[in-house]
């Protein structure tokens, strides 16, 4: 008894600390709470998560609803799963999908109906026809577009049916070719919802989706008590958390839902139980929601109706993530096992945190890791799969195309298998061994991919790691192995040229090699060309500095649209090209008539060459006005 009394104060202190860190609304499973508490204290703590909320369902019943940490660091307000609102990001798309399913249920539209029959003005600009099925499975072939995704707080937004016309990004692939996650595709679905229902998107969601589900979630955060909306946090350069300013979306239907943990617990339970308790969907519609609608290969996970599939150690899960501002959310459920989890954090420094969560969730469910598939001879020689690939979700025809540069994956032959490496990352290469005709598998991480093959050569890679992805094959000239050295060459030559006048004077001073006496006209011509070379270099360097500073300052405005000042700057490269041409056309005369030494003539030629390469790089990466896309 004496020992117990000594430790009693410690136990009480720990109890107070624990209750301050976490707030439990529902706890009917000590095992579920233990699993989540350990995850929060481990992986989430290492990822510097300020606050989080979680809901877990087993056998169709909610067994845990709990909040952890801080909603507001500024005043120490804790996350309450019943009253604190988190922005769940792209999980909003699944609510758009519910509305579309209701229209299918009412025979107002069909799953394989062409969009041109519903939105003819929009579809007239499509390169390829698109169906509802392709929109909900992210296989419509749309390009990515980040510019215009956001909107300023005071901007009056037009109807969604007009936004989709204004923001059309173009198509980069024939629909059905591959999975390429598309915010725009779900914006088109929201426009269809408005047109076929005769209601605004907000009104339809409130009346036909959110209310029947018993949710207090909203797409209109301005209607909420602002103190109940959690802040989100990024880690600053000094290691301190920095609160992010809220960012409004022009594509508001695809990422603007605010919900409590209790809202998402109810939603998760409905997804698992087939909406039997609220009638939001019929049994037939629920069957469409959870069935596979697209698969890149029979052996790989694919897409259901807005949700993507995960093979969790042999258990088929349907899930969707959401990231906006610094919020990061995931909802994942198994219709067959009637289990699932919702998790949301308001900040994290670990991009793999949700993947770690799902592996821990598999342990909690008691799922054993399946045996590795046996190695098989691939359908082609290994050399046919080797090459450079790039994640297809980037702006192919937009100002931010350069964002695709670091998304490169290099595949090389390694013995009887392949190695996938990441030039822009310091991660270790992933070893891949053949387990099917064009299918390869890795052990760490657990990943299975399939190569798309045309005319005996691999043209792309499909797979699922955290989310489904498609990697498009690129030529060596498009890859980092070419672009980075060329860019470095152009920049180094221009920077070096800035010091050319001083370097030339020092050379003459220390070597005593005075330039020969020339006629006044010839001497003046050489001076003018030398000054032109230096001026061209200065113009290039100032353009680079100005563009970088401009884009850094106007980062958020660029998401809302291309500022006129930036577009004006992007006209300057045409002037740089003119200066470069003036240099280039004088190369023969420099070599044949000038008194310069061989070193200076070579340097002049290289500067002119660097100017040509610089412009070509800007052209390829769409960094010229008028801004394409």
- Do 469 and 488 share a domain, yes or no? no
Give the per-residue pLDDT at 153.
87
The pLDDT of residue 382 is above 60: yes
485 and 443 co-located in one domain: no
User: What global pTM score does this model have?
Assistant: 0.90
Residues 348 and 221 in one domain: yes
Same domain, 279 and 400: no
- Residues 423 and 330 placed together within one structural domain of the fold: no
Pair (219, 286) in one structural domain: yes
Q: Which residue has the tokens 């007239």?
A: 124
Let me know whether 452 and 495 are in one domain.
no
Strands (E), 302-438: 308-312, 315-324, 327-334, 339-345, 387-391, 408-414, 417-421, 430-434
Strands (E), 173-240: 233-235
- Residues 393, 256, single domain; the answer is no
Is residue 19 pLDDT above 80, yes or no? Answer: no
Residue in the structure block whose two tokens are 């699944």: 94
Q: What is the pLDDT of residues 109-163, one digit of tens each?
A: 999 999 999 999 999 999 999 999 999 999 999 999 888 889 988 889 999 999 9
**pLDDT-wise least confident of 39-53, 150-164, 441-455, 502-516:** 502-516
Residues 200-209 have a mean pLDDT of 96
Q: Which of 432, 459, 474 is the last residue of a domain?
A: 474
Token match 């999975």: residue?
179
- Assess whether 508 and 596 both reside in one domain: yes
What is the spatial distance between Cα 108 and Cα 345, in angstroms, rounded to a whole number? 38
Q: Would 251 be classed as within a structural domain?
A: yes
| In a domain? residue 411 | yes
Q: Which domain holds residue 597?
A: 480-620
Q: Final residue of a domain: which of 315, 339, 365?
A: 365
* Unique residue bearing structure tokens 């109807």: 159
Q: How far is CA 114 from CA 131, 140, 175, 260, in A?
A: 4, 11, 12, 36
Task: Read off the pLDDT band of 522 (50, 70, 90).
Answer: confident
- Kindly state whether residues 615 and 552 are assigned to the same domain: yes
Q: pLDDT tens-digit profile of 333-351? A: 999 999 999 999 999 999 9
312 lies in a domain? Answer: yes
Cα separation, 147 vs 567, in Å, equals 13
Q: Is the dihedral of CA 341, 269, 106, 209 positive or negative?
A: negative
User: Would the pLDDT of 17 be above 80?
Assistant: no
Residues 306 and 415 in one domain: no
Is 18 part of any domain?
A: no
Q: How many domains does the chain have?
A: 3
End-to-end CA distance of the chain: 76
Instruction: Confirm whether 572 is domain-assigned.
Output: yes
* Least confident range of 110-124, 352-366, 541-555, 602-616: 541-555
571 within some domain = yes
- The CATH number that applies at residue 236 is 3.40.710.10
pLDDT in tens, 154-196: 889 999 999 999 999 999 999 999 999 999 999 999 999 999 9
pLDDT at 428 over 70: yes
Q: Name the domain boundary from 365, 393, 425.
A: 365
Confidence of residue 292 (pLDDT cuts 50, 70, 90): very high
Which is more confidently placed, 8 or 399?
399
For tokens 């109906």, the residue is 113
Q: Does a structural domain hold residue 52? A: no
Judgement on whether residues 445 and 536 belong to the same structural domain of the protein: no
DSSP per position, 434-502: E-SSSEEEETTTTEEEEEEEETTEEEEEEEEESEEEEEEEE-GGGSHHHHHHHHHHHHHHHHHHHTHHH
- The domain spanning residue 452 has which CATH number? 2.40.128
Burial bucket for residue 548 (CB in 10 Å: 0-12, 13-18, 19+) = exposed
Domain assignment present for residue 163? The answer is yes
């Amino acid at each position: 008894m004496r020992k117990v009394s000594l430790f009693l104060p410690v136990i009480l202190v720990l109890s107070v600390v624990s209750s301050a860190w976490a707030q439990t609304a529902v706890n009917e499973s000590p095992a579920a709470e233990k699993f989540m508490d350990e995850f929060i204290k481990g992986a989430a703590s290492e990822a510097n998560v300020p606050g989080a909320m979680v809901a877990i369902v087993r056998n169709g019943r909610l067994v845990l609803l709990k909040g952890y940490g801080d909603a507001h660091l500024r005043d120490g307000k804790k996350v309450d799963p019943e009253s604190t609102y988190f922005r769940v990001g792209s999980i909003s798309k699944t609510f758009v999908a519910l509305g579309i399913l209701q229209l299918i249920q009412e025979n107002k539209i069909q799953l394989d109906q062409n969009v041109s029959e519903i939105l003819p003005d929009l579809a007239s600009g499509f390169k390829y026809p698109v169906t509802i099925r392709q929109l909900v499975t992210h296989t419509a072939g749309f390009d990515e577009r980040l510019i215009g995704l956001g909107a300023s707080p005071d901007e009056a937004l037009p109807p969604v049916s007009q936004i989709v016309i204004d923001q059309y990004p173009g198509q980069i692939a024939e629909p059905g070719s591959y999975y390429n996650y598309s915010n725009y595709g779900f914006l088109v679905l929201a426009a269809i919802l408005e047109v076929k229902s005769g209601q605004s998107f907000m009104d339809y969601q409130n009346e036909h989706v959110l209310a029947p589900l018993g949710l207090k979630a909203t797409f209109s955060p301005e209607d909420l008590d602002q103190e109940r909306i959690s802040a989100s946090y990024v880690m600053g350069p000094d290691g301190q958390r920095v609160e992010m300013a809220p960012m409004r979306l022009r594509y508001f239907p695809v990422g603007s839902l605010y919900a409590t943990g209790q809202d998402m617990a109810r939603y998760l339970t409905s997804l698992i139980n087939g909406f039997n308790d609220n009638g939001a969907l019929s049994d037939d519609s629920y069957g469409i929601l959870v069935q596979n609608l697209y698969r890149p290969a029979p052996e790989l996970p694919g897409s259901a109706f807005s949700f993507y599939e995960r093979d969790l150690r042999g258990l088929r899960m349907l899930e969707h993530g959401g990231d906006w501002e610094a919020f990061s959310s995931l909802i994942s459920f198994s219709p067959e096992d009637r289990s699932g989890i919702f998790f949301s954090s308001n900040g994290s420094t670990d991009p793999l945190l949700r993947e770690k969560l799902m592996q821990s969730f598999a342990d909690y469910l008691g799922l054993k890791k399946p045996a590795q598939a046996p190695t098989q001879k691939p359908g082609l020689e290994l050399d046919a799969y080797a090459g450079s690939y790039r994640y297809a979700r980037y702006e192919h025809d937009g100002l931010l195309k350069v964002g695709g540069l670091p998304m490169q994956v290099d595949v090389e032959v390694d013995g009887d298998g392949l190695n996938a490496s990441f030039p822009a990352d310091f991660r270790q290469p992933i070893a891949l061994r053949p387990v099917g005709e064009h299918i390869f598998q890795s052990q760490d991480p657990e990943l299975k991919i399939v190569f798309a093959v045309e005319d005996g050569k691999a043209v792309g890679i499909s797979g699922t790691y955290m989310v489904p992805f498609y990697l498009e094959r690129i030529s060596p000239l498009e890859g980092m192995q070419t672009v980075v050295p060329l860019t470095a060459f152009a920049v180094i030559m221009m920077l070096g040229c800035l010091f050319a006048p001083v370097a030339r004077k020092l050379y003459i001073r220390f070597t005593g090699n005075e330039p020969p006496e020339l006629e006044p006209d010839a001497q003046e011509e050489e001076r003018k060309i030398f000054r032109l070379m230096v001026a061209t270099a200065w113009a290039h360097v100032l353009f680079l500095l100005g563009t970088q500073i401009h884009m850094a300052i106007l980062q958020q405005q660029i998401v809302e649209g291309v500022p006129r000042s930036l577009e004006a700057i992007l006209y300057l490269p045409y002037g740089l090209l003119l200066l470069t041409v003036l240099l280039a056309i004088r190369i023969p005369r420099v070599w044949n008539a000038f008194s310069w030494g061989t070193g200076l003539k070579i340097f002049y030629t290289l500067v002119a060459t660097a100017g040509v390469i610089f412009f070509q790089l800007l052209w390829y990466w769409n960094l010229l006005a008028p801004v394409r896309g």
